[in-house]
Each structure stands twice: as structure tokens, then as C-alpha cells.
Amino acid sequence: MILINTEASARWLRSRRFLSFPGAPGGRALRMLLFALLMCASCRRDMMDQPKAKTFSKSSFFKDGTNARPIPPNTVARGDVRLDQAFYTGIVNGVYVTQSPVELRPQLLRHGRERYDAFCAVCHGRVGDGHGMVVQRGFPQPPSFYVERLRNAPLGHFFDVITNGYGAMASFATKVEPRERWAIAAYIRTLQLSQNANTSDLPADERKKLEQTQ
Ligand code: HEC
């Protein structure tokens, strides 16, 4: 509570000539004005005491006893509509996609390598043979990426494994963004190709260079 000496304030205001124009309010009027201002300053009470529900507080109003209301079905967070099935699931009409929905560029593969080394290499090994450090310390050994089955697996399968996990391997959906998952999937393909490439796959000038060094 603030106490204002209205008498003294009025005197001070008058002495400063703030209100010294013809017809300016006299002592009583000025005091009333100051009193009204003081009342205004203290009318917060109603707002402070209004009935309101804090998000996770108890409720005697709602049947389930909580003020947190369930999110209506099909609610989507702003900016999070995931209409592009191929991009967000790697599956279209129940079939794994075979092409990357993200344009393959050297930059994407570099990013994929960086993310792979950060998140996957501890188990799968830097080269993808399944001999990562965590495995050497006793974690179940994942299959090598170079086995026939995984070399023939569609690209969407790798995306799906990162998104949802696979057997003993946990999901990385909360740690790795969809775009990064495609980068990693593409990098795994690169690793696979690095161990199973044919010289006939090379462009002619590269093949020539290789033949010269042999
Ligand atoms: C904590 C160890 C661990 C980490 C980290 C890990 N994985 Fe795995 N991963 C495994 C194990 C174990 C399996 C075999 C699971 C099984 O068959 O039960 C596996 C299986 C896989 C498979 C083969 C699925 C199949 O069809 O057989 C792929 C592909 C794969 N992981 C990709 C990744 C990628 C990409 C990352 C990084 C984002 C990653 N993993 C991170 C342990 C790990």
C-alpha cells in the first residue's frame, strides 16, 4: 500500500505552476483528483483473483480431474503437416521407395557421413561392417551393410530402420531429422557401393586413370 500525502502533493504541484492557469482546480479538487488516481492504481484485485485453470493443475470441473484438455484427433502442430509420405516415412502405398526424395548432391553425402559417424558408427563401425566400439564391448552385433540382403534392400528400408528402429536397435526419430535420415541412408548406399563397385561402373576417363595406375 502506497501512502500519498495529497495535501503536500497538491502544494508541490501548485508551487511548480503545473496547474496555475485560470480556472485551475483548487486544493480540494486537486486532492480528489489525486485520490482518484490512487484508487486506479489499486484496482488489480479482480484480475488477480479471477477463476482460471493452469494447464496441469487439478480440476473439479472436468470429469477426468485435470485441467489439461486432450488434444483433438488429427491435430497437427503449426508448420508440421506431413503430407509428403515418401519423405516422412520412406513408404508409399505400403512399398519402400527406391529413390531418394531428397536430391542427391555431394553436400548431402558429406552431411550423411558426418551424421552416420556421429550416430551409427559406434555400433555399425565407420565402414559399416558391424564392428563398432559398442559392439566390441558386448552389444548385439548388427549385420554388415555389405551382406546381399542389405545391398538389395530398397533405400526406404534404411530410412524406416532409422525412423522406427529395428529389433535390438532403437529408433533415432527424435535425434535425427527426416532430411538427415535420407542423407545417412544415401551415405550407407555409398559405403555399400564402395565395396561392391565394378570398374565398368566408372566413367570412361576415370577408368582410364585407374588402368594407368595399375
Ligand atoms: C546401439 C547400437 C546401434 C546404433 C547406435 C545403431 N544401430 Fe543399427 N542396428 C543395431 C543392431 C544391434 C542391429 C540388428 C538388430 C536386430 O537384427 O535385432 C541394427 C540393424 C540395423 C540395420 C539393418 C536392418 C536389417 O534389415 O537387418 C540398419 C540398416 C541399421 N541398423 C542402420 C542404422 C543407422 C543408419 C544408424 C544410425 C542412425 C544405426 N543403425 C544406429 C545397433 C545399432
pLDDT digits (tens, 9 = 90+) for 168-179: 999 999 999 999
CA–centroid distance, residue 124 to ligand 1 (Å): 7
Tell me the CA–centroid distance for residue 158 and ligand 1, in Å.
Answer: 9
Query: Under a CB-based contact definition with an 8 Å cutoff, are residues 87 and 101 in contact?
Result: yes
Q: What is the pLDDT of residue 16?
A: 65
Flag the least confident range among 34-38, 88-92, 109-113, 117-121: 34-38
What is the position in ligand 1's atom list of the atom closest to the CA of 167? 18
Could you tell me if the CB of 155 is within 6 A of ligand 1? no
* 168 close to ligand 1 (CB < 6 Angstrom): yes
- At residue 201, the pLDDT reads 85
Which residues lie below 8 Å from residue 54, measured CB to CB, with a gap of 6+? Answer: 67
Q: Residues 92-114: what's their mean pLDDT?
A: 97
Please report the pLDDT score of residue 174 as a whole number: 96
Name the range with the highest mean pLDDT among 72-76, 82-86, 159-163: 159-163
Q: What percent of the chain has pLDDT over 70?
A: 86
Quick check: CB of 109 below 6 Å from ligand 1? no
Average pLDDT value for residue range 144-163: 98
Helix axes 178-196, 106-119, angle to 10 degrees: 100
Mean pLDDT value across residues 1-30: 65
Verify whether ligand 1 is closer than 6 Å to residue 169 (CB atom).
Answer: yes
Q: Which residue, judged by its Cα, is nearest atom 6 of ligand 1?
A: 120
**Across 74-101, average pLDDT:** 94
- Region of 138 on the Ramachandran plot (φ > 0 left; ψ -120 to 50 alpha; else beta): left
How does DSSP classify residue 132? -
**Centre of ligand 1 from the C-alpha of residue 133, in Å:** 14
Give 3-state DSSP helix, strand, coil % of the chain, rounded to 5.
50, 5, 50
Distance CA 214, CA 209 (A): 9
pLDDT above 80: residue 11: no
Mean pLDDT of the chain: 88
Q: In order of start, what are the domains of the chain with their CATH numbers?
A: 85-197 (1.10.760.10)
Ligand 1 site-directed mutation target among 116, 124, 177, 179, most atoms within 8 Å of CB: 124
Residue nearest to atom 17 of ligand 1 (CA): 167
Ligand 1 centre to CA of 141 (Å) is 9
Pocket test for ligand 1, best of 169, 172, 190, 192 (most atoms within 8 A of CB): 169
